[in-house]
């Protein structure tokens, strides 16, 4: 076996090692998902328990704690095992540091639960404590996505991270709503928090659906329960409206909790589906790399077939000029075996730069679209007397009805700025274009 062949085999083994340890890091995502879901349920039950002065959800809260303890044990075992792989490709210092913070935060759960049991903390303080722990757990998922070297695996992790982030915001919405309905009303601070959580989680879900697979988007459509969505929306409108809640609103805390829990459970099923896709992707890539390693002849054939292309840019630089011969000499030198590695390096670097440029442009485009949507939403709020949530729902429904993106609809609305100019009266529907009138009737 030649030195080149040995190096090629070593490179393939390194690739397999990278994939195996990346798979181990991705497995953490599944355990974090299960534990976060259990924590979110415990947080919601704890809010009802605290807001009712210990009169409601006492037994259910203990059930949620038992679920958390089981999933926490599985996560601790996984994190402990990862700590033994320090120095491996998928285990960076930042990832291990985040895991250390998570472990420390987990050790404080028992004290938090004791304070909740004794009613020695407020619903807001308890929610904040749960939020910080869940945020630390999600940072581990983000770090895994940030350190993944395979593009397909990275995309899958980005989609999962945004879905988990959106579900966490939905969980915070559940906790906020449970507190307000159980107490019999929402003050301005909690009402604004609720509206912010509704808008922020939708942005996360939109980003997830943009990055996930077609199968993932179909799973989302199948899992979202329309009746539950309608019930949640009705209670959202009650909570965010200016009309005070009726005196009999206290039992709505349990209704809200049940409806939002069904919705979050549906999101969790989508999350489990995407994590399953991720696991299958990691397995398929690892098996493919191992199969390639076992076929030495095919692998070594790459060496014979690998003939780097001439650096055409240098040749074309001199085409048509008096120094064309210098271009040919340059081409021969660059094409020599001595300089092939340099050419490959230049090509690889150019490819990475192009990929970064494409990614940057995609990000800029997404930011531009979001700014358009924000401007259009603000215009609708100002001239149609809608809340922020209603304006966003208005834009989203227009986009769905017309099979267009929200950015396209936002651009259309902004183009109607002259028609929607301020006046002492709300513009009648006859003043608006037909496509907007149709959607306005549908959302009213």
Q: Per residue of the chain (444 residues), what is the pLDDT tens digit?
A: 677 777 777 777 777 777 777 777 778 888 888 999 899 889 888 988 998 899 988 999 999 999 999 999 988 888 777 666 544 444 567 778 888 888 888 888 999 999 999 999 998 889 888 988 888 888 888 777 776 667 788 888 888 888 988 998 898 898 888 888 888 888 888 888 888 888 888 888 988 888 889 999 999 999 987 888 888 888 888 888 777 777 666 678 788 888 998 999 999 999 999 999 988 988 888 888 888 777 766 666 666 665 544 444 444 444 444 444 444 444 444 444 444 444 454 455 456 556 655 665 666 677 778 788 888 888 888 777 888 888 888 888 888 888 888 888 888 888 776 554 544 444 443 443 444 444 444 433
Are residues 395 and 362 part of one domain? yes
Residue with tokens 């195996």: 20
To 10 degrees, the CA torsion angle through 145, 150, 151, 155?
-30
In a domain, 323, yes or no: yes
Backbone angles phi, psi at 432, to 5 degrees: -95, 155
**What is the predicted pLDDT for the residue at 302?**
65
**What is the predicted pLDDT for the residue at 438?**
43
The Cα angle at residue 151 between residues 275 and 132, in degrees rounded to 5: 50
Domain that holds residue 399: 312-443
Are residues 139 and 14 part of one domain? yes
For residue 299, how far is the Cα from the chain centroid? 38
Could you give the number of structural domains in the chain?
2
**What is the predicted pLDDT for the residue at 150?**
75
Residues whose CB falls within 8 Å of the CB of residue 120, separated by 6 or more in sequence, listed in order: none
In a domain, 301, yes or no: no
Are residues 173 and 130 part of one domain? yes
Are residues 322 and 234 part of one domain? no
For residue 4, how far is the Cα from the chain centroid? 42
Any long-range contacts for 107-111 (C-beta under 8 Å, 24+ apart)? 109/68, 109/72, 109/133
153/159 Cα distance (integer angstroms): 10
263 close to 225: Cβ distance less than 8 angstroms: yes
197/194 Cα distance (integer angstroms): 5
In a domain, 250, yes or no: yes
400/379 Cα distance (integer angstroms): 20
Boundary of a domain, candidates 290, 321, 347:
290
Are residues 240 and 204 part of one domain? yes
40/31 Cα distance (integer angstroms): 14
**What is the predicted pLDDT for the residue at 143?**
78
Question: Nearest-CA neighbor of 26 among 201, 222, 270, 285?
Answer: 285
In a domain, 90, yes or no: yes
In a domain, 337, yes or no: yes
In a domain, 285, yes or no: yes
Whichever domain contains 436, its CATH number is: 1.10.10.10
90/96 Cα distance (integer angstroms): 10
Q: Other CB atoms closer than 10 Å to residue 263's CB: what's the count?
A: 21
**What is the predicted pLDDT for the residue at 364?**
63
In a domain, 297, yes or no: no
413/375 Cα distance (integer angstroms): 9
Q: Other CB atoms closer than 10 Å to residue 113's CB: what's the count?
A: 17
Are residues 286 and 333 part of one domain? no
Structure token digits, residue 331: 């081409």
Q: For the whole model, what pTM was predicted?
A: 0.61
Are residues 321 and 208 part of one domain? no
For residue 434, how far is the Cα from the chain centroid? 36
In a domain, 217, yes or no: yes
**What is the predicted pLDDT for the residue at 422?**
46
Structure token digits, residue 412: 């259309």
**What is the predicted pLDDT for the residue at 266?**
92
Question: Nearest-CA neighbor of 31 among 74, 84, 66?
Answer: 74
**What is the predicted pLDDT for the residue at 219?**
93
């Amino acid at each position: 076996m030649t030195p080149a062949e040995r190096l090629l085999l070593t490179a393939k083994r390194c690739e397999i090692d990278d994939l195996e340890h990346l798979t181990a890091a991705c497995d953490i995502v599944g355990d974090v998902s299960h534990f976060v879901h259990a924590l979110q349920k415990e947080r919601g039950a704890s809010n009802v328990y605290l807001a009712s002065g210990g009169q409601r959800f006492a037994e259910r809260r203990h059930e949620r704690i038992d679920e958390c303890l089981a999933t926490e044990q599985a996560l601790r075992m996984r994190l402990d095992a990862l700590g033994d792989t320090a120095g491996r490709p998928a285990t960076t210092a930042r990832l291990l540091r985040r895991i250390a913070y998570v472990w420390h935060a987990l050790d404080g759960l028992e004290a938090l639960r004791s304070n909740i049991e004794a009613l020695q903390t407020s619903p807001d303080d308890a929610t904040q404590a749960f939020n910080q722990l869940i945020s630390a757990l999600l940072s581990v998922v983000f770090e895994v996505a940030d350190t993944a070297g395979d593009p397909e695996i990275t995309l899958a992790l980005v989609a999962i991270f945004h879905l988990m982030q959106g579900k966490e915001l939905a969980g915070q919405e559940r906790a906020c709503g449970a507190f307000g309905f159980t107490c019999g009303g929402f003050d301005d601070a909690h009402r604004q928090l609720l509206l912010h959580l509704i808008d922020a989680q939708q942005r996360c879900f939109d980003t997830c659906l943009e990055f996930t697979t077609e199968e993932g988007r179909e799973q989302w459509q199948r899992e979202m329960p329309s009746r539950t969505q309608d019930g949640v929306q009705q209670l959202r409108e009650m909570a965010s409206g200016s009309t005070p809640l009726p005196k009999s609103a206290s039992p709505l805390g349990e209704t809200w909790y049940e409806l939002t829990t069904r919705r979050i459970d549906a999101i969790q099923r989508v999350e489990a589906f995407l994590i399953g896709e991720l696991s299958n992707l990691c397995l398929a890539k690892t098996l493919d790399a191992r199969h390639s390693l076992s076929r030495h002849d095919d692998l070594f054939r790459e060496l014979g077939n690998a003939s780097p292309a001439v650096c055409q840019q240098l040749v074309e630089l001199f085409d048509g000029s008096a120094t064309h011969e210098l271009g040919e000499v340059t081409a021969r030198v660059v094409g020599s075996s001595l300089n092939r590695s340099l050419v490959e390096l230049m090509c690889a670097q150019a490819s990475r730069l192009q990929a970064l440029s494409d990614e940057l442009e995609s990000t800029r485009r997404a930011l531009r679209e979001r700014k358009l949507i924000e401007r259009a939403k603000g215009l609708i709020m100002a001239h149609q007397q809608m809340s922020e949530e209603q304006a966003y729902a208005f834009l989203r429904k227009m986009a769905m009805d017309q099979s267009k993106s929200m950015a396209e609809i936002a651009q259309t609305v902004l183009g109607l700025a002259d028609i929607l100019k301020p006046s002492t009266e709300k513009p009648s529907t006859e003043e608006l274009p037909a496509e907007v009138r149709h959607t306005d009737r549908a959302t009213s």
